[in-house]
Amino acid sequence: MQNWRLYLALTFVVLVSEAIGQRRFSVGPGFILLIPMLYALVLGFLLNPKFVRFLSPERLGVVPALTMLGIALLAARIGTTLGPNLKLLWSLSWMLALQEFGHFLGTVALGLPVAVLLGLGREAVGATFSLAREGALAIIGEKFGLDSPEGRGVLSQYLCGTLFGAVYFGFMAGWVDSLQFFSPLSLAMACGVGSVSMMAASAGSLMAIHPALKEQITAISGAANLLTMMTGLYFSIFVSLPLAQFLYKVLRRGRSDEKVS
């Protein structure tokens, strides 16, 4: 039991998160729902060896393997819900395909102008052409290099998504649902953004609000996430990245800046 401290810390995080349970706070016309997974993310971050000496960095080498095990179990759980809901997924097939435009073009159309307005240079291209997950790092690294301005942009966005993405998505899913403007199943589809942790946090919030729709929410969010992971790489290469480069040139016209290759 060389890693007993790690297992003890994980047990502590789970017990404390479950003991706190769900908490709901009113924010404007809606509310934010806090679920145990969000507490676990925060507690896990605070137990980093840089903050607490209980865990040593040398003993954390097993964490990636444990994370992959957890993701595999989650993927298997999602897979068991797809079969019974195939009819529902088939009826949503064209909507599942169309949401890809929102996932990637939305980040460019909305994020890039704001990034340029805030004064970012070519970093804006790397930061806004996608949700900046692992596939985006590979694309930018191959085309520009991660030490380029575009590389710094995608790396910064990747780190922000890793640290705050799941927490933010968990907050937003519950709050948007509380406005009662969108169907819970449409929001479940929006949970599948190509990140397992973000999908789990946002879908978890929806399932806590609509326990009767738990199976449908799990199936739809899982299918949307899988589709995004499968098609997102090609969509980013051939559509969203060229569009981001073109829009950046238009917005930066007349200003001194390095040319986007």
- The per-residue pLDDT for 261 is 47
Q: How far apart are CA 197 and CA 136, in angstroms?
A: 17
Q: What is the pTM of this model?
A: 0.67
Average pLDDT by stretches of 10, the chain with 261 residues: 80 91 70 75 81 75 72 67 67 70 76 89 90 80 86 85 78 86 89 80 87 89 79 81 91 63 47
The amino acid at 5: R
**Residue-level pLDDT at 257:** 58
Neighbours of 119 (CB within 10 A): 8
CB 140 within 8 A of CB 150: yes
Helix, strand counts (H, E) of the chain: 13, 2
Query: How far, in Å, CA of 261 to CA of 244, rounded?
Result: 12
* pLDDT attached to residue 73: 74
Look at residue 130 in the predicted model and tell me its pLDDT.
85
Kind and range of the H or E run holding 32: strand 30-34
Quick one: DSSP state of residue 21? -
Q: What is the DSSP letter of 129?
A: S
**CB 112, CB 244: distance < 8 Å:** yes
- The token pair that represents 188 in the structure block: 């479940």
